[in-house]
Amino acid sequence: MATKLVYVLNGPNLNRLGKREPEIYGSQTLDDIAAMLVARGQALGCGIEMRQSNHEGHLVDWLHEAQDEGAHAVLLNAGAYTHTSVALLDAIRAITVPVIEVHLSNPHTREDFRHRSWVGMAAKGTVAGFGANSYLMALEAAAGL
């Protein structure tokens, strides 16, 4: 089975997972999630390229890179940039690789300012509210695209 390359891009503050508001985001670290994704990816025939940055432009650059590297799909948890970044919306529209929006929490049950998602306006779909499992569910969906 040919390996499908899946970029998993994580935005601001997600490097603090495990320590950051665990009642909202859970106790698993981003490294824990990466390990889960790599293991599930092996079963699904997907190679995982895991990245995190607190800087918006890095996420834009990595979306372009995913296209240039021939990625099969991108999982994107843009953190708070989800709710603010027209640049990310434009970057998703600038590539043809399908992007799946991922969130640990369910932003729609939280503050009003989290209800708008610029990422979601261009994403293929969204998985939110299942903690670290949101990433695994999104990977299953990506593998099936």
Active site residues: 25, 103
CB nearer ligand DHK, residue 5 or residue 104? 104
CA 86, distance to chain mean position in Å, is 17
Q: How far is CA 17 from CA 8, 26, 38, 44, 69, in A?
A: 15, 7, 18, 25, 28
- Helix or strand holding residue 22 (H, E): helix 22-25
Backbone angles phi, psi at 3, to 5 degrees: -80, 130
CB nearer ligand DHK, residue 41 or residue 107? 107
- Looking up tokens 């601001």 gives 12
Least distance in angstroms from the C-beta of 80 to ligand DHK: 4
Residues that bind ligand DHK (CB under 6 A): 13, 77, 79-80, 82, 103-105, 107, 114
Cross-strand partners of 5 = 47
Least distance in angstroms from the C-beta of 45 to ligand DHK: 26
- Looking up tokens 């890095």 gives 58
Q: Which of 94, 89, 95 is nearest to 122 (CA)?
A: 89
Least distance in angstroms from the C-beta of 29 to ligand DHK: 14
CB nearer ligand DHK, residue 5 or residue 78? 78
